Structure 1
Amino acid sequence: MTDVPLGAALRGAVDLSALRNRPAPAPAGAQPPASAPSLVMDVTDETFPQLLELSRTVPVVIDLWAEWCGPCKQLSPILERVVLELGGRLVLAKVDVDANPQLSQAFRAQSIPLVVALVGGQPVPLFTGAVPEQQVREVFAQLLQLAAQNGVTGTLDVSADGELDGEPQAEVEPPLPPLHAEAFEAIEAGDYARAIVAYEKALAENPRDDEARAGLGQVKLLDRVQNLDLAQARAAAAAAPLDPAAQFAVADLDLAGGHVEDAFGRLLDLFAALAPDERAPVRERLVELFALIGDADPRVVSARGRLASLLF
Structure 2
Amino acid sequence: MTLDTTQPHVFDATAANFDADVLRKSLETPVLVDFWAEWCGPCKQLGPVLEKLAGEYNGAFVLAKVDVDKEQELGAAFQVRSIPTVFLVKGGQLVDGFPGVLPEGQLREFLKHHGIEPGAAAEPVAAEAETAPVDPHAEVMRLRSEVAAAADNDNLKLDLALALLKTGAAHEAEQLLDALPANLAHDDRAISARSRLGFAALLDNAPPVEVLEAAIAGNPDDLRARHLLGVQRIVAGDAQQGLEQFLEMLRRDRSYEDGLPRKSLIDAFRIIEDEDLVGAYRRKMSSLLF
Larger RCO: 1 or 2 (CA < 8 Å, sep 6+) = 1
TM-score by length of 1: 0.39
